Structure 1
Amino acid sequence: MRRLVPLALVGLCACQVFDPMMWQQKYKPYRGTTFFPDGVSMLAPPPGTVPSSGAIEPALATGIGPDGKLLPVAPVALSRDLVELGRRKFDQTCAICHGLTGDGDSMVAKNMALRPPPSIHLKRSFPDGYFYQVVTNGFGVMPSYAAELSVEERWAVVAYVRALQLSQNARIDQLPAEQRSKVQEEPR
């Protein structure tokens, strides 16, 4: 048994000593070289290189257009999937304070000592970029949710907020006939 332990140690060490990758010719980062004209071993990416994650259009990432104003309409394609994603994210991150319908009525809001969260329905005239900015940067006592929500998820929340605003402020004559009859038949 005593002979096996030293042999095992020599075997493990031999892998390090005789590793051909360790001794191959290569350029190490931040070391100089005579191979490239600028004498640097780390080459800068060519001009116009886009990160593998893809470039994000500034208006999409900030909610602000090239004119410096808040975007009036979200720069993403509106779809049922986007609104559904927005509903899930709103329910997870926003509804705890703003309430499930966005009216600012929740248990957390009732127990807030400072300023309770406002109803999102009072801000229907605000541009979509405003809501995106609030979710991204926070507002008042509301923190930023940029770390929790991706750019796409933030725009999805904006789309769902708009759907909530429509649903909570719709007139009965705006409903399709089949839906209108269902609503009129429901007891209050």
Structure 2
Amino acid sequence: MPFVFGACSWFTDFKEQPSIHPWESVADTIAPRGQPVNSVPVTGLQTPGYTFSYAALPNVIDSFTVVANPKSVGGLSAVELDSSLANGRRYYQQNCAVCHGDAGAGNGPATKYGVPGINLMTDMTKGRSDGYIYGMLRNGRGSMPSYNRIEEPDRWDVVNYVRGLQGSLGRTVAIGPLGYPGQTGFTIPTYTKTAPTRPAPMWRPPTTTTIAPQPAGELTTAKPAAEQGTPK
């Protein structure tokens, strides 16, 4: 009897249960299930942080000075530049204007509560490279947090918009909020452009119902309630 019951397993509990854990194989001869095809982005970034960000603070910002702007104004057409500045303004208003101000003068609303506002119109800031400003957005410094959540192409648009505020583009740029508080649509950032590699498929139910036309002779009319009788 001891040998018989010894071969039986104890009751399952929260520690030992029959569920399958992530990356756990159901058997030694069966490999764990992998990720679905194209569910993980493999295209990478043009400016991967590990290539430039190994230096300790504050030099981690300076290391981005050598990074070239892939959306440099000289390489964009008029239409592409307008699109870059419009997108840069959208992200600037959402993330930067609260401290730096609408025009970049360092007088944003947060400065009324003791937050230091850095003026982006100084000669020192104007002399910084595009890569330096990009590095500030990516890593932050001092009281400025990292804005790495802004995707790489959009960050370069912010850099171009800041250059427009500084007057280095030879043209004026629009300033101020894009809409009223809480407004959606064109005033907020759009969908991701870098991940995933391709959109995940999603079933979209039809939004309209199509009724097939019937011949006139087959149309019937409902009887009055008094003639319908008692429903069975």
| Letter aligned with residue 41 of structure 1 | A
TM-score by length of 2: 0.46
Which of 115, 123, 126 is the aligned partner of 1:124? 126
How many residues are matched?
130
Equivalence for 1:41? 31
Match runs of 1:60-99 below 5 Å: 64=52, 70-71=65-66, 73-76=68-71, 78=76, 79=80, 80-99=82-101
Pairwise CA distance, 1:159: 1.2
CA distance in 1, matches of 2:24, 2:51: 38
CA deviations over 1:31-74 (Å, ceiling 9, x no partner): 2554xxxxx614889xxx98753422352657949xx6523541
Equivalence for 1:59? 47
Note if contact 2:85-2:158 (Cα within 8 Å) is conserved in structure 1.
yes
Unaligned runs of 5+ in 2: 1-21, 54-62, 172-232
Equivalence for 1:20? none
| Letter aligned with residue 70 of structure 2 | P
CA distance in 1, matches of 2:94, 2:23: 44
Equivalence for 1:186? none
| Letter aligned with residue 119 of structure 1 | N
Q: CA RMSD in A?
A: 3.4
Identity across aligned pairs (percent)? Answer: 28
Structure number with the bigger relative contact order (C-alpha 8 A, sep ≥ 6) is 2
Unaligned runs of 5+ in 1: 1-27, 35-39, 176-188
Distance 1:57 1:125, change over 3 A: same
Pairwise CA distance, 1:107: 3.0
Larger Rg belongs to = 2
CA distance in 1, matches of 2:43, 2:96: 28
CA distance in 2, matches of 1:158, 1:134: 10
Equivalence for 1:161? 162
Note if contact 1:64-1:129 (Cα within 8 Å) is conserved in structure 2.
no
CA distance in 2, matches of 1:90, 1:108: 15
Higher helix residue share: 1
SS at match of 1:59: coil
CA distance in 2, matches of 1:63, 1:98: 29
CA distance in 2, matches of 1:61, 1:76: 18
Note if contact 1:137-1:145 (Cα within 8 Å) is conserved in structure 2.
yes
Note if contact 1:102-1:119 (Cα within 8 Å) is conserved in structure 2.
yes
TM-score by length of 1: 0.55
Note if contact 1:98-1:118 (Cα within 8 Å) is conserved in structure 2.
yes
Match runs of 1:144-155 below 5 Å: 144-147=146-149, 149-155=150-156
Distance 1:144 1:153, change over 3 A: same
CA distance in 2, matches of 1:75, 1:60: 13
1:30 maps onto 2:24 in alignment:
yes
Pairwise CA distance, 1:106: 2.4
Distance 1:30 1:128, change over 3 A: same
| Letter aligned with residue 150 of structure 1 | E
